[in-house]
Structure 1
Amino acid sequence: MSVPALPLTLIESLERRLVTAVTASTSSFTGTQQVQDWGGEWWEYSVEMAMTKGRDGRRLSAFLTALGGMRGRFLLSDPSIAQPDMTAAPVVVGAGQSGTMLLTGGWAASAPALLCGDFFSLGTGGETRLYQVTADTTADVAGLATLSFVPRLRSAPLSGAVLDVAAPAVALRLTAPVPTRIGRADSYRFSITAREAL
């Protein structure tokens, strides 16, 4: 079953944040803390959709209703991500990789690959995962580059898996039902909260 994509032209503004499963216990006597990292990391989004009218508003309402609340998933190609213009076709090099570093190939030789703050995604459909690069990376003479990023890989990508750097996306799931706010002159407004579909 295909995963629908949220219409980007209707997004007015959004907020993106990486949530980490970290807890802290603070001593009431000394103020010292013990921090526990449970390893979970995921993206959360708050999206304000632009006011739509008539048929467009009803179509967007139907898109959101058809998700069935938390039951459905959708893809978001984050429109706030301005990527560098490149002709590279990067892929994963080597199986069994994990953590927050990934050996990749297919970059222009001896040239910048991705820079700190850039994004890429791996996977397709409901398994599409979004990653943000945390350090500048330059490819070697063979076009290989090791990317450092967050969040950590959820599973080892296959060797040869394609990195989407042109329009990185993430599979999301609504965190609450989306009310349809209907105003005068058949106008519609929507506010969406969603988290990575894991």
Structure 2
Amino acid sequence: MIPELPLTLIASLERRLITATSIAISPFTGSAQLQDWGGEWWEYQIEMAQTRGRDGRRLAAFFAELGGPRGRFLFRDPSIAQSPGAGEPVVDGAGQSGNTLATRGWVPNAPALLAGDFLSLGSDSATRLHQVTTDATADATGRATLALVPKLRASPADAAPLEIAAPAALLRLTAAVATRIGRVESYRFSFTAREAL
């Protein structure tokens, strides 16, 4: 069972989609050659709001139990506030790959997800977070094809559910988290994490 970050208040966060690309620039002509290796993943930098007493100690214990980059955890990004389409969407067909996902189970002839909305696929150690890049409207049968980033890392099973109400990312710390303790037993935490692949 993968632990989930206990959501106390988050003061700020940065979310980045990282792509495995490199650029080589010719010293003679200045022309650039782009190498795209195809890898894509999420990285987060998170500043937790100040907590006190028992709540601060519990959060410190959560980070200590992860053991730095050894442990993985689920994070439900509180900045993802969206109005997803109605229905019970699932994956429509096995064997899918790339940056599109065929889905079904939406309310017919209604918006499914809009550009900027998020969804997650899988559970526990197979959880993957994706962002929709173009508006998608369901057809008369409740099917919609979603354009998304990052690319599908594995083909989801037919009829696998989409988590759209509270999408999660599976993250791994990039370093151990320091517990900063101030006056009156006030605790502050900040950490960086990347998608655990």
Q: TM-score range by the shorter chain?
A: over 0.9
Q: Which moved more, 1:125-134 or 1:82-91?
A: 82-91
Q: Which residue of 2 aligns with 1:10?
A: 9
Give the distance between the partners of 2:100 and 2:142, measured in 1 at CA. 16
Q: Which residue of 2 aligns with 1:150?
A: 149
SS in 2 for 1:9: coil
Q: Deviations over 1:118-157 (max 9, x none)?
A: 1100010121100000101010000000000000000000
Gap runs ≥5 in structure 1: none
Q: Which amino acid aligns with 1:149?
A: L
Q: Which residue of 1 aligns with 2:131?
A: 132
SS in 2 for 1:151: strand
Give the distance between the partners of 1:123 and 1:90, measured in 2 at CA. 13
Q: Which amino acid aligns with 1:180?
A: T
User: Is 1:104 the equivalent of 2:103?
Assistant: yes
Shift of 1:47: 0.5
Matches within 5 A, 1:181-196: 181-196=180-195
Residue identity over aligned pairs, in percent, reads 65
Shift of 1:10: 2.8
User: Is 1:53 the equivalent of 2:69?
Assistant: no
Q: State the number of aligned residues.
A: 197
Shift of 1:9: 2.6
Shift of 1:85: 5.0
Shift of 1:60: 0.3
Matches within 5 A, 1:10-89: 10-84=9-83, 86-89=85-88
Gap runs ≥5 in structure 2: none
Shift of 1:87: 3.4
TM-score of the pair, normalised by structure 2: 0.98
Give the distance between the partners of 2:7 and 2:113, measured in 1 at CA. 24
Q: Which amino acid aligns with 1:76?
A: F
Q: Deviations over 1:150-187 (max 9, x none)?
A: 00000000000000010011000000110000111011
Give the distance between the partners of 1:8 and 1:192, measured in 2 at CA. 14
> Does structure 1 conserve the Cα–Cα contact (< 8 Å) formed by 2:96 and 2:156?
yes
Q: Which residue of 1 aligns with 2:169?
A: 170
Q: Please, what is the CA RMSD of the aligned residues?
A: 0.8
User: Is 1:121 the equivalent of 2:120?
Assistant: yes
Q: Which amino acid aligns with 1:170?
A: A
Q: Deviations over 1:82-141 (max 9, x none)?
A: 110543110001000000001000000001100111110001012110000010101000
Q: Which has the higher strand share?
A: 2
> Does structure 1 conserve the Cα–Cα contact (< 8 Å) formed by 2:96 and 2:155?
yes
SS in 1 for 2:8: helix
SS in 2 for 1:113: strand
Structure 1 residues 28, 85: CA separation in 2 closer, same or farther (over 3 Å shift)? closer
